[in-house]
Structure 1
Amino acid sequence: MLLASGVEPAAAGTKPKVAVEIVDAGQNPMLNRGVLKVKVRSARKGKVRVRALSSTFDGKGVMKPLTDVAWPYFKRAGQWRTVNLRLTSTGRIQVASCQDRDIQVKAGNVKSRRKAMLRQTADCRAPALDLSRAATCNFIAAQDPSICMSPFPDNYYTLADSTTETGRRINFTSGAMPENASGSVINPSPYLASDGFSQGQTISVRVPGLDNPAALAQTNPVGLVDPSRYLDPSAPVMVLDARTRERQPIWVEIDSNASSPAQTNLLIRPMVNFDPATRYIVVLRNLKDASGNLLKAPDGFRYYRDFLRSTNSRVNGRRSFYEDIFKRLRAAGIRRSNLYLAWDFTTASDENNSSRALSMRDQAFAALGDTDLADRKVQGTAPEFKVDSVQVNPSSTVARRIAGTFEVPCFLDHPTSSSECASGATLNLGPEGLPQQNGTYEANFECIVPNSIADPDSVDPELLPEESLRGRAIVYGHGLMGSIGGEIHAESQRRTAAKGFTICGTDEIGMSTGDIVTVTGALMDLSNFPKVADRLQQGLLNEMYLGRLMIHPDGLVSKAAFRVDPDLPEPADVPGGDGDAAVPEGSDLEPVLETGEDVRGWYRGISQGGIMGGALMALAPDFDRGALGVGAMNYSVLLTRSGSWGTYGAFFNPAYPNQLERPLALSLIQMLWDRGEPNGYAHRMTANPLPGTPPHDVLFDTAFGDHLVTNWQTNVQARTVGAKAVAPLITNSRWPGVDWAWGIEPITTYPYSGSAVAYWDSGPLRPGVEPESTLGTDPPPITNTPPLTGEDPHEHPRVTDTAVEMIDRFLRTDGAVTNPCAPGPCLAGGWTAP
């Protein structure tokens, strides 16, 4: 054994031969003199080899040389000598650092007791911390007292909870939440039921110095143009799975919407959604300012990184928590001493995101008598409905435009309206946290029936779909804050319907025209955001009920509006003239929809409908495939990258004037939005379905350079759901140096059975036909800002023949992905690639 002073064990009855003690382990004396002062005693005359070594956490406790070797000479036995051990050049650097360091001296074969180096320089002293908000705010990165939840997301704002799948539960408090210009703090209560953060959560943190393009270039983290660099060994920004230590594909940017560097956050976003119910560690290291200087870690974090001593219980109470993080990072080869900041967060489970909508769906279909929604069978009764109007021959290719209403179980609760499902309502949650029915809701629907179904003799035989394809049912999802009435008869729907589809849709309540007041109000006071997120879930149920109504034998085809008498002089006319009249059993009037126990419906959504359709496809029992036009996911990322943000940001930005809190606020509400948009369902949208749900395939038909729905998030969704690319996505010359299709495997053989993403490119900027007009558009910005140049190609794919053909061939019983654009990329807007 070693004695306290480092004395060599002696044989029985003899005195020890050598003893060694560290006189002064202070940092300042060592740096001032360049030596470590020790005392050595030898029981014999002669020389003794003496050297100091040190160890750190990063070195895994292994002692490494700190000083040169000294050979002090002892003139007599038992003599004590003071020995100055000269620091090596590396040793001087080590002593100057602020790492928690143990020093040990070896004299002969004797080792002194390890002694902690006393950190005394100004840089290494424990700094004073402002802990006035420590009860509610994590102080590790505190730079500005006006912001609390930075970094975010952060497990600091969770509690252990053994009853949840993640083992955590959100624990936001009013004292931590952002407040608007009126002093209204975002209500934390709606978040407390969540067992983690969003699977697409934007990571937001304030890093003074890394708040401008020059500093971002000096630090050089992985960006959008070179996503494979997330695996670089020296990557300065990383997100790791805490258990497997596998790196998460990410991109890093600064908030380009901020008005000055002092108002700018660093933003980290997933290239593929984070896995559900998973703990992650965020790593920032070796960050640089615009001049290339290394940034010093925040004082609060240094208490943990450098193991600075404190008497404060709030500081010390989390030491073991951070030590666990550091140990996991060390196992991944990441040095503690290089860290600028590190923290962890846990993502929500799939159950957290989907349980409410699944419960609503299962209760509603059980009320119809169908309790097995995964069997792909139409069972039970049809929803109740009423036809209100029929317009005959509204256009040259459409025979009928039909409007009506249908009854849906309502799971919302409105505090003032007589209609519980009216805009502004929130979910009527029971004691178990699941929605309970609260009456019924009269949802609207509108449909178009094309001539190719109602009057095939009027259609050019070359354009007429074969008979087996006529009567396919599409539920259509409309655009941003729109209505079904405003879009059901648009050119894009008429083109698709001509392929043999009867198309119906309903207002996507929650984000429809009737919700504009609620949505804009929520943007000015985010405590009201559950009114948006909750009603979106009711809207998804409405669309599922409409889908069942379309393919059920006792559904829409039970009324005259959805039957055709080919013997009438004008087949588009409603038999009997009353569209709401019941069709007698055994009638020989021809239905405009295919129905039956084994019949499947399809989904087609564009813009917002293409976005919301992702969530619907994860839940829908009656659709196998869906075509998601210019769709994406994760509204909190989409917003500031959209040309529409000028309109909606005009409500949000003045209401939340603290620019450092804006990314946080949008990231916060994504946690609620996840229950009503595809970001919360992406991992379960296709081949890994939710409980009681059949698998699905989706096709993303997308406009390259879209001004309203950023392509970056379309690609994130494609990667997350496992979609493959209809390749090439764009011409090689269109965007040189950018790995546009990273992580999306190309389809090599057609037809392809599975999910896919295809881009239609309207070409680069070029003069238009009209004076001073411009055609084409630039690639999407790599900043979190909307595209501003050229024409918006948002509407181009939906009216392009190759896109309509691809959708037609995808939305069939034997449907698959085809490539009518081969061998080149898909083009639109009149552009022919060089």
Structure 2
Amino acid sequence: MRTALALLLAAAAAFANAPCDIIDPSLCVFPFPNDYFRPVGPSGVALTNYSNITWPLDADGKIFDVSNGWNGVNGFSPAQAAITYLPNASLSGTPNLPRLWNMETSLLATSVTALINAETGERVAHWVEADHSSDEWDAADPSKNKRAFMAWPAARLNGSTRYVFAVGPVAALGGGFVQPSPAFRAMRAGASFPGIEPERQAHFEKDIFPLAEAAGLSRGSLTIAWDFTTASDATWTHNMLSMRDQALALVGDNAAYSITSKTPTPRPGVAMEVDGFITVPWFLSSISPDIGTHIVIGSDGKPELQGYNDVPFKLIIPTSVANGSKPATAQYYGHGLFGSASELTNQYLDTEADENGWVMIGVNWIGLCSEDIISDAYMVANDLSLFGFIQARLHQAQTNALLAHRMLFTSLAADPILAVNGQPVLSKASPRRYYGNSLGGIMGSVFMSLSTDTTHGVLGVPGGPFGILLPRSKDFAALFDIIRLRYDNSLARISMMSAIQEQFTYLEPGGYVNHLWKDPLPNTPQHSVLIHYGQGDAQVNWVAAEWLGRSIGGMRAFDGTMRVRNCTLFGFEFVDNSAKLNGTDGGLMQGYYFDVPAENIPLENLPCASATDTHGKTRRTAHAMEQTRVFFEQDVIYNPCGGACHEQPSLCVWERVGRV
């Protein structure tokens, strides 16, 4: 099969465009995403086709090897920023440029930028930002810090859809306007230019310039414009759905397990802490976190079973369930970045579990758990083109988690450790829920898009996509420093974030959450989630939490409880603080404010200040705990704060510090 794929890609090279798109000469892969890198092949199908010099070479001259899963895709990630470079652009000096705090203006004909659904001609909400992720690194030599011009869609884009991104007049530092590249200026004028084929000029004449003009941007005013097509939804979900369905068919309600340790009353509120192994179907080429690990694909095009593997799990049985004072809920818990299922032993979880009768189980999010740290760091330091092994392991992680949750109320429920007076405390009739924080909130959004065993989940401090998250997270700082050493200019570095996003989408919110509530995946129920996030979070930024909420759809918010930065409150349905909502009618965003100084919460794509990091606070508030309990037990969403949560400000942060 690998030989056949190699032949296919070799044949594809024959119809590839030139390695670079010269309408943005700043970087070979810019502008991105871009249908220039998705030519139509001999079969009549358009697939991504990069050369090995399209993406930047690293400091040692090593190529970004596009044969490692980057070519042959039917489109681009729907969770990607449109990115280009406009030399000396002044965003603050450009009127009518949609920014994070007024992204709804991107829908107006007066907006300087237009993200256009080419099928409908409609504008799509987005915000524009400059890339500041290299500011500190390049402070000694500002000439090296070229800030990319980035447009983030306010929510996940539609699959299998062509979009046009067009930029009108943008002010330049020092006066005047940013000038188009020579190639684009010629195309705009309808003149020939070396390297611009007649077919491409004709495509712009027919499919790009008219759409930009219809959206309100005259052809002569354009600084740059291009188009890109998103991949089909099935591109991202195919392997995961197959692994889920195969695993559940193979294991069903009869997951084999072994218990390796039982610790009675390890902490207050916990009757028993149990460690063991669950036997799961394995679809990867390796059990260990080896670089190069991949999902093995069979002749039918689906993931192929490679055998079985024993995966460790942790189980917490609260005192209230063990003594019979509380009915039990079968709850899966998702841990944080580079952590493990041992996070189930946190004191705040002990308290919640005991108060609410949560019997909690968890396994490791392999791919981004403690056992992956060395492999992940080595890959970043040596060859980012091998990033695919992370998403492959994350596929198996979701499979393991879904099976562990099923086991909790089926085969494991029959074990004496889960019996009171000889009677099982859990069964298939028991309530089943999901709760996760940080990475557990991020991957929890995927879990809640896939689960056939629960319909209700709480995502604590989550976000998506990783392209928004990573530059805004202090947790990524060390890995980003490695990337900075490997790529010697800011444009190359941020392009690597775009590359990573293309792979992450196979197993992250951007590939799945449009199916969580409004368009369930095949043989999957509709799900409803609460999203809890905190202003000032230095690890999972609130901007990413709001993007996640918009992308899920059907998300509501109480008046006064999410007045954080995005003063337009775009994309959510706001309801009265006194309302009691039915959880099955949609989810809820709940923001928390912890009096973090405004200067510690940058508007740019930078982390919030570590000194005032609120990442671990939201989940520990009594309000968040109570809202979770009522949602899980009664399917009711209410505002436990009665109004604003934790002294939330009435003004936008930038208004309080005089920033516009």
So what's the TM-score if we normalise by structure 1?
Answer: 0.71
User: In 2 relative to 1, CA 723–642 (structure 1 residues): closer, same or farther, beyond 3 Å?
Assistant: farther
1:283 aligns with 2:166: yes
User: In 2 relative to 1, CA 433–670 (structure 1 residues): closer, same or farther, beyond 3 Å?
Assistant: farther
Q: Distance in 2 between matches of 1:647 and 1:313?
A: 40
1:481 CA displacement: 0.6
Match of 1:471 in 2: 328
1:779 CA displacement: 6.9
Indicate which of 509, 518, 532 corresponds to 2:390: 532
Indicate which of 52, 58, 77 corresponds to 1:198: 77
User: In 2 relative to 1, CA 709–421 (structure 1 residues): closer, same or farther, beyond 3 Å?
Assistant: closer
Match of 2:374 in 1: 517
Q: Distance in 2 between matches of 1:726 and 1:270?
A: 20
Q: Distance in 2 between matches of 1:700 and 1:632?
A: 9
Q: Distance in 1 between matches of 2:40 and 2:17?
A: 19
Amino acid of the structure 2 residue aligned with 1:265: A
1:528 CA displacement: 1.6
User: In 2 relative to 1, CA 475–291 (structure 1 residues): closer, same or farther, beyond 3 Å?
Assistant: same
Match of 1:560 in 2: 416
Q: 1:443-489 CA distances to partner (integer Å, 9 max, x unpaired)?
A: 11001111110025xxxxxxx6xx4xx2101111101110112x111
Match of 1:820 in 2: 640
Q: Distance in 1 between matches of 2:30 and 2:392?
A: 27
Paired residue secondary structure (1:317): helix
1:445 aligns with 2:277: no
Q: Distance in 2 between matches of 1:175 and 1:433?
A: 29
Q: Distance in 2 between matches of 1:218 and 1:786?
A: 25
1:564 CA displacement: 3.2
CA contact (8 A) 1:705 1:778 kept: no
1:432 CA displacement: 4.7
Match of 1:250 in 2: 126
Match of 1:393 in 2: 265
User: In 2 relative to 1, CA 197–134 (structure 1 residues): closer, same or farther, beyond 3 Å?
Assistant: closer
Match of 2:105 in 1: 229
Q: 1:647-689 CA distances to partner (integer Å, 9 max, x unpaired)?
A: 2222222122232111111111211111111111121111311
CA contact (8 A) 1:195 1:348 kept: yes
1:601 aligns with 2:469: no
Match of 1:152 in 2: 32
Work out the number of aligned pairs and report it: 618
User: In 2 relative to 1, CA 799–420 (structure 1 residues): closer, same or farther, beyond 3 Å?
Assistant: closer
Paired residue secondary structure (1:196): coil
CA contact (8 A) 2:109 2:215 kept: no
Paired residue secondary structure (1:168): coil
CA contact (8 A) 1:296 1:340 kept: yes
Match of 1:624 in 2: 455
CA contact (8 A) 1:218 1:290 kept: no
CA contact (8 A) 2:53 2:64 kept: no
Q: Distance in 1 between matches of 2:292 and 2:359?
A: 32
Amino acid of the structure 2 residue aligned with 1:557: A
1:591 aligns with 2:419: no
CA-based RMSD of the aligned residues comes to 2.3
CA contact (8 A) 2:49 2:72 kept: no
Amino acid of the structure 2 residue aligned with 1:612: M
Amino acid of the structure 2 residue aligned with 1:200: A
Match of 1:318 in 2: 200
Paired residue secondary structure (2:83): strand
Q: Distance in 1 between matches of 2:49 and 2:238?
A: 20
User: In 2 relative to 1, CA 622–188 (structure 1 residues): closer, same or farther, beyond 3 Å?
Assistant: same
1:599 CA displacement: 4.4
Paired residue secondary structure (2:158): coil
Task: State, as a whole percentage, how many aligned pairs show the same letter.
Answer: 28
1:780 aligns with 2:660: no
Match of 2:53 in 1: 175
CA contact (8 A) 2:268 2:350 kept: no
1:420 CA displacement: 6.5
Match of 1:504 in 2: 361
Match of 1:705 in 2: 536
1:394 CA displacement: 0.7
Match of 2:617 in 1: 796
Match of 1:644 in 2: 475
CA contact (8 A) 2:459 2:529 kept: yes
Paired residue secondary structure (2:574): coil
Deviates more, 1:195-204 or 1:722-731: 722-731
CA contact (8 A) 2:318 2:357 kept: yes
User: In 2 relative to 1, CA 828–655 (structure 1 residues): closer, same or farther, beyond 3 Å?
Assistant: farther
Q: 1:534-574 CA distances to partner (integer Å, 9 max, x unpaired)?
A: 1001100000001110121xx11222222234xxxxxxxxx
1:381 CA displacement: 3.4
Q: Distance in 2 between matches of 1:389 and 1:235?
A: 62
Paired residue secondary structure (1:390): strand
Amino acid of the structure 2 residue aligned with 1:534: A
Q: Distance in 1 between matches of 2:450 and 2:409?
A: 17
1:789 CA displacement: 6.5
Indicate which of 572, 589, 601 corresponds to 1:744: 572
Q: 1:314-368 CA distances to partner (integer Å, 9 max, x unpaired)?
A: 5323111111211233333431111111100011111011001001111111213
So what's the TM-score if we normalise by structure 2?
Answer: 0.89
CA contact (8 A) 1:518 1:531 kept: no
User: In 2 relative to 1, CA 741–246 (structure 1 residues): closer, same or farther, beyond 3 Å?
Assistant: same
CA contact (8 A) 2:600 2:609 kept: no
Amino acid of the structure 1 residue aligned with 2:626: E
Amino acid of the structure 1 residue aligned with 2:23: I
Q: Distance in 2 between matches of 1:366 and 1:789?
A: 46
Match of 2:4 in 1: none
User: In 2 relative to 1, CA 228–703 (structure 1 residues): closer, same or farther, beyond 3 Å?
Assistant: same
Paired residue secondary structure (1:446): strand
- Map 1:269-348; keep pairs closer than 5 Å: 269-310=152-193, 314-324=196-206, 325-348=208-231
User: In 2 relative to 1, CA 137–542 (structure 1 residues): closer, same or farther, beyond 3 Å?
Assistant: same
Q: 1:504-559 CA distances to partner (integer Å, 9 max, x unpaired)?
A: 1001101000000121122222122011111001100000001110121xx11222
- Map 1:647-662; keep pairs closer than 5 Å: 647-662=478-493
Paired residue secondary structure (1:343): strand
Structure 2 residues not aligned, in runs of 5+? 1-15, 649-660
Structure with bigger RCO (C-alpha 8 Å, 6+ apart): 2
Paired residue secondary structure (1:435): coil
Match of 2:522 in 1: 691
Match of 1:185 in 2: 63
Q: Distance in 1 between matches of 2:336 and 2:450?
A: 20
Amino acid of the structure 2 residue aligned with 1:455: N
1:492 aligns with 2:312: no
Indicate which of 552, 558, 561 corresponds to 1:727: 558
Computing the radius of gyration from Cα coordinates, the structure with the larger value is 1
Amino acid of the structure 2 residue aligned with 1:244: T
1:163 CA displacement: 8.2
User: In 2 relative to 1, CA 226–790 (structure 1 residues): closer, same or farther, beyond 3 Å?
Assistant: farther
1:639 CA displacement: 0.8
Match of 2:239 in 1: 356
1:185 CA displacement: 1.8
1:828 CA displacement: 8.6
User: In 2 relative to 1, CA 559–162 (structure 1 residues): closer, same or farther, beyond 3 Å?
Assistant: farther
Q: Distance in 1 between matches of 2:266 and 2:288?
A: 35
1:549 aligns with 2:412: no
Higher helix share: 2
Paired residue secondary structure (2:338): coil
Q: Distance in 2 between matches of 1:172 and 1:810?
A: 47
1:193 CA displacement: 3.7
User: In 2 relative to 1, CA 440–176 (structure 1 residues): closer, same or farther, beyond 3 Å?
Assistant: same
